[in-house]
Amino acid sequence: MIDYKTFHVVDHPLIKHKLSIMREKETGSKDFRQMLSEIAMLMCYELTRDLPVVDIEIETPIAKMTAQQIGGKKLAIVPILRAGLGMVEGILTLVPVAKVGHIGLYRDPKTHEPVTYYCKLPADIQDRYVIVCDPMLATGGSASDAIRMLKNKGVTQIKLLCLVAAPEGVERLQKDHPEVEIFTAALDERLNENAYIVPGLGDAGDRLFGTK
């Protein structure tokens, strides 16, 4: 059972429209990349809604005033390679000073279990509020492993930004990391026998980089 307290489907006509373009099998890499980046930016707006703000004293050309700026921990973005890379630019458009770490995982084609091949994170990652991004949450194995790696480095505040989620993946993630909030553009029906999301959008990495 999905716990909707920590699972959010970001419901917006622009996101729906752009996601439909991405799902369409005739859409090429150029448009796929552009839509993914734009959706990531729109979803980042929603995901960062509860960032704390602090009062600061400023002076406009007219008068002094108390204004607000973002306070608390600094941000880091951690895309899961490869497909998560397609979300980084969109997020950086809204939070340009965020640092970017990378976690490389691929799914073993037979077992569908994630295999780690790369991890490079900002040195102060444990002091940051981390947005993990990956467009596909299928079995949930990749996102769960990436989040475990971050927790092992001392990270305590993590949110997951994806695009299309399967119920199986959401349940797995909520079981492994119940405190991590998940933001997605769509919750699809199920996984098929190859652990691909149905209806989904196919292989996100291949479509993004044109490798098939």
| Residues binding ligand URA (CB under 6 A) | 136, 138, 196-197, 200, 203-205
Q: Residue 75 or 138: which CB sits closer to ligand PRP? A: 138
Secondary structure letter of residue 202 according to DSSP: S
Output the DSSP codes for 138-183: SSSHHHHHHHHHHHHTT--EEEEE-SEE-HHHHHHHHHH-TT-EEE
Task: Give which of ligand URA, ligand PRP, none residue 169 binds (C-beta under 5 to 8 Å, depending on kind).
Answer: ligand PRP
Residues with catalytic function = 107, 111, 203, 206
* Ramachandran angles phi, psi of 207, nearest 5°: -70, -35
Binding mask 150-179 for ligand PRP (x = CB under 6 A): -------------------x----------
Of residues 43, 91, 121, 142, which one binds ligand PRP by CB under 6 A?
142
CB atoms within 10 A of CB 70: 14
168 Cβ contact partners less than 8 Å away, ≥ 6 residues apart: 138, 139, 140, 190, 191
Task: Give which of ligand URA, ligand PRP, none residue 197 binds (C-beta under 5 to 8 Å, depending on kind).
Answer: ligand URA
Q: Residue 43 or 164: which CB sits closer to ligand URA? A: 164
d(CA 150, CA 52): 22
Of residues 78, 140, 188, 207, which one binds ligand PRP by CB under 6 A?
140
